[in-house]
């Protein structure tokens, strides 16, 4: 089965998954870290026999008139992360004393607080970074494919690349939105950095294939149909693309299993982005380009009316 025939099966599946990811981003949406929402993040280790429910009950009883709104997540090391509204230093100290009096010898392993105004600023800056990266990529693509043979539209190469990149980013966001409700993951600035890097990797991977298509357009006979030329280009770049992806995955998996806990989600995002980016270069970007060119060719060959 050729790449394009396989793409006809996989592309609808990808479209469904991207649509599902968009729905998940709208509702319920990913859990954001306190970097974006503001608040106080604490990590506790409880005495033997105490559970998450005990911790929630103790924190709920901290203030009778204005109870704390608390979310928790359990880690693999039997510690608990709690996220609350922004607490002052006095309220924080009083809460620790209350927990020790209620639950026993509670150990606080981590304490971070960020004001809501700072969180809002960081959220907008993250959006600006993603938008500026998209604009820069579009400008680069317009320059890279400005001269095309056979009267091909250079914008078709750029649009196919951007759509494949959007597919990768949205699919990864959908996956991590689900993870945020079942694990300790929360969308933070480190994950945004991973997204920016994945966008660059996805575009780079696609451009390698498109460069080969462009070279073959100059070299091959004009009678060779574009789909046949595109499949030939995919086969010529297959080894290079797989070697690059596998080499990156070996390094990333080593970092995931042996690296620091603090960057584990960052590395997992890279692993997912590498797999999805390699897949989309073959089965999203190139089929989109072929569809565009064949649709344009069919339109130009159709008899005019009137």
In this prediction, residue 144 carries a pLDDT of 80
3-state secondary structure 97-160: HHHHHHHCCCEEEEEEEECHHHHHHHHHHHHHHHHHHHHHHHHHHHHHCCCCHHHCCHHHHHHH
In this prediction, residue 227 carries a pLDDT of 87
In this prediction, residue 223 carries a pLDDT of 73
For the chain, residues classed under CATH 3.30.70.3220 are 39-114
* SS3 state at 183: coil
Is CATH 3.90.1150.10 correct for 39-114? Answer: no
Q: Over the stretch 32-54, which tens digit does the pLDDT of each residue have?
A: 888 888 888 898 998 888 888 88
* SS3 state at 85: coil
Helix axes of 3-26 and 226-258: crossing angle, nearest 10 degrees: 50
In this prediction, residue 150 carries a pLDDT of 64
A 10 A CB-CB count for 29 gives 11
Specify whether the CB–CB gap between 3 and 234 falls below 8 A.
yes
In this prediction, residue 301 carries a pLDDT of 42
Can you tell me the mean pLDDT for 49-73?
Answer: 82
Q: Over the stretch 141-173, which tens digit does the pLDDT of each residue have?
A: 878 887 777 667 778 888 888 999 999 999 999
- 306 has a pLDDT exceeding 50: no
In angstroms, rounded to a whole number, what is the distance separating the alpha carbons of residues 193 and 197?
6
Q: Tell me the average pLDDT of the chain.
A: 86
CATH number of 3-33+118-301: 1.20.1640.10
In this prediction, residue 260 carries a pLDDT of 82
Can you tell me the mean pLDDT for 108-133?
Answer: 84
Q: Over the stretch 181-206, which tens digit does the pLDDT of each residue have?
A: 888 788 988 999 999 899 988 898 89
Specify whether the CB–CB gap between 70 and 84 falls below 8 A.
yes
């Amino acid at each position: 089965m050729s790449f394009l025939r396989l793409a006809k099966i996989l592309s609808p599946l990808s479209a469904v998954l991207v649509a599902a990811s968009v729905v998940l981003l709208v509702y319920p949406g990913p859990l954001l870290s306190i970097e974006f929402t503001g608040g106080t993040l604490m990590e506790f280790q409880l005495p033997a026999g105490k559970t998450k429910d005990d911790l929630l009950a103790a924190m709920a009883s901290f203030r009778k008139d204005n109870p704390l709104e608390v979310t928790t997540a359990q880690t693999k090391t039997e510690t608990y992360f709690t996220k609350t509204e922004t607490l002052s230093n006095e309220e924080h100290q009083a809460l620790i004393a209350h927990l020790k009096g209620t639950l026993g010898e509670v150990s606080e392993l981590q304490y971070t607080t960020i004001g809501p105004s700072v969180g809002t600023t960081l959220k907008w800056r993250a959006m600006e970074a993603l938008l500026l990266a998209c604009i820069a990529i579009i400008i680069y693509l317009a320059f890279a494919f400005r001269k095309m043979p056979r009267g091909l539209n250079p914008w078709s190469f750029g649009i196919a690349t951007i759509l494949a990149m959007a597919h990768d980013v949205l699919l990864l966001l959908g996956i991590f939105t689900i993870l945020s409700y079942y694990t300790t993951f929360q969308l933070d600035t480190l994950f945004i950095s991973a997204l920016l890097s994945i966008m660059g990797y996805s575009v780079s991977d696609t451009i390698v294939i498109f460069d080969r298509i462009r070279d073959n357009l100059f070299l091959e006979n004009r009678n060779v149909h574009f789909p046949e030329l595109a499949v030939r280009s995919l086969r010529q770049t297959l080894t290079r693309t797989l070697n690059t992806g596998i080499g990156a995955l070996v390094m990333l998996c080593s970092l995931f299993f042996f690296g620091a806990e603090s960057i584990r989600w960052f590395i997992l995002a890279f692993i997912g982005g590498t797999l999805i980016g390699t897949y989309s270069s073959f089965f999203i970007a190139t089929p989109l380009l072929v569809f565009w060119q064949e649709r344009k060719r069919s339109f130009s060959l159709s008899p005019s009316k009137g």
